[in-house]
Structure 1
Amino acid sequence: MSATVLVVEDEKEIRDLLRRYLERAGFAVVTTGSGAQALTMLTAHAAGIVVLDLGLPDIDGLEVLRAAHADGRVPVVVLTARGSVEDRIRGLELGADDYVTKPFSPTEVVLRVQAVLNRTTGSADPATASYGDGLLCLDESRHEARWQGEPLELTPTEWGLLATLAAVPGRVYSRYELINRVRGYEFEGYERTIDSHVKNLRHKLGAAGADVVQTVLGVGYRLGLPRDR
């Protein structure tokens, strides 16, 4: 059964356009032009992913983004006219899993929704892997991570980044390679996007963050913990 997509967009024509394209791709779709109503619909309709316009008429779209992220960490594709690099980075730092600026191709939005869902709900090896004598544990089947025995509350993108680095500990992944593996396609401004997610991931890992996710100057990033046998 396809995930339910909650489209939060104040322009009716855009809402209807996205509904048609998403339904054509096999998704169940619910829509609203109200941020306040979106907060209720997040749980009432068991949304699997949100396509969210930040420029809503009643409340700031970032409030809806925070709620989606807090409410079971529902993935969010932000759709907005706020096209500056700073705005994109701010949205990503607050938990958005992708960012599409207006004007846009509805086909592109569908592809990005599919890519986010593929990486956040895709099948994986059910075995739990541990690293650094048990300091870090990843359960691929549940998309769960633990650090020093405590659960890590990761966004879907942070999970994808950590899981990619952990696939081959010590291997250096370029920013270009990471954005394609984590997101599933090329993304304009990918270098700053990856750097933003790495910063957030390190923060959640605490004082050892920079040692766990290591920077290789001029190349990219690698996991600094060996896999336990």
Structure 2
Amino acid sequence: MQQLLMIEDDARLAQMVGEYLERSGFTVTHALDAKAGMALLQDPQGGVPVDLLVLDLMLPDMDGLEVCRRVRAMPGEVGKVPVLMLTAKGDPMDRIVGLELGADDYLPKPFEPRELLARIRAILRRRSDGAAPAAKLLRFGSLEIDRDARTVTVAGQPAELTSYQFDLLIALAERAGRVLTRDQIMEAVRGRELEAFDRSIDVHMGRIRAAIEVDAKNPKRILTVRGVGYVFAKQQD
């Protein structure tokens, strides 16, 4: 049974959503604030092996964006845990910043528990299906993508990507030389049918470039085709 950690200061909402998710086959652990939630993630003794983190943006002791940033800085698999951010704010910039900090998805409040469940399943499905029955390693010059380990290295150095960003990179690399629209990219990674928020793709592409390009402002691997989408270059360093 997959384990979810919810960091949410609204105890009533957390209980309602937690019960719904547990009826849907998940185990849910709840923390009322950032300190308690991060302790559960970090503590190897009393902590929980989290498969996905549901993180509220507005917490009493720490901004959810800062929590996301700190989680991504944690070592090992803990730092790679998928993050679904809940936000009560209507400003798209809050969502963009969350994605830039490493969140895999977001859901504005108020929301239907059924939509939250669908998004959670989509994120976990992308992670479990990430290793396709093809070559384990994809190599493009100094860039190496390991499907099974879900790791990326550039000149032997690890490149830090979220689960969703890894899937985006795989989708592009498998189709090297082919121009893909944003819709085609979202279709390739699956699970984004709930909302075609093009800007989120652009944000993630920026983060991927920052991780794998020598100069993210002058990319050589992931190229923008203006008015169309993106293409992964076949010929690289």
TM-score (norm 1): 0.91
| 1:169 is aligned to 2:172 | no
Structure 2 counterpart of 1:60: 63
CA distance in 1, matches of 2:65, 2:191: 25
Structure 2 counterpart of 1:79: 86
Distance 1:180 1:13, change over 3 A: farther
CA distance in 2, matches of 1:126, 1:15: 41
Distance 1:170 1:35, change over 3 A: same
| 1:136 is aligned to 2:136 | no
How large is the RMSD of aligned CA atoms in angstroms? Answer: 1.9
Q: How far off is 1:208 after superposition?
A: 5.0
TM-score (norm 2): 0.88
CA distance in 2, matches of 1:20, 1:224: 47
Structure 2 counterpart of 1:124: 132
Distance 1:49 1:200, change over 3 A: same
SS in 2 for 1:207: coil
Structure 2 counterpart of 1:215: 224
Q: How far off is 1:183 after superposition?
A: 5.0
SS in 1 for 2:193: coil
Structure 1 counterpart of 2:54: 51
| 1:197 is aligned to 2:200 | no
Contact 2:5 2:29 in 1 (8 A): yes
Q: Which moved more, 1:62-71 or 1:28-37?
A: 62-71
Deviations 1:5-43 (A, max 9, x none): 001111112101211121112111100111110110113
Distance 1:126 1:170, change over 3 A: closer
Distance 1:26 1:226, change over 3 A: farther
| 1:225 is aligned to 2:234 | yes
Identical pairs, percent = 39
Contact 1:131 1:137 in 2 (8 A): yes
SS in 1 for 2:176: coil
SS in 1 for 2:220: helix
CA distance in 1, matches of 2:148, 2:133: 6
| 1:38 is aligned to 2:45 | no
Structure 2 counterpart of 1:3: 2
Count of residues paired in the alignment: 225
CA distance in 1, matches of 2:205, 2:52: 23
Contact 1:5 1:50 in 2 (8 A): yes
CA distance in 1, matches of 2:89, 2:206: 22
SS in 1 for 2:148: coil
Q: How far off is 1:213 after superposition?
A: 0.4
CA distance in 2, matches of 1:185, 1:158: 13
Which of 128, 151, 160 matches 1:153?
Answer: 160
Structure 2 counterpart of 1:13: 12
Look up the equivalent residue of 1:176 and give its one-letter code: D
Contact 2:100 2:207 in 1 (8 A): yes
Greater fraction of residues in helix: 1
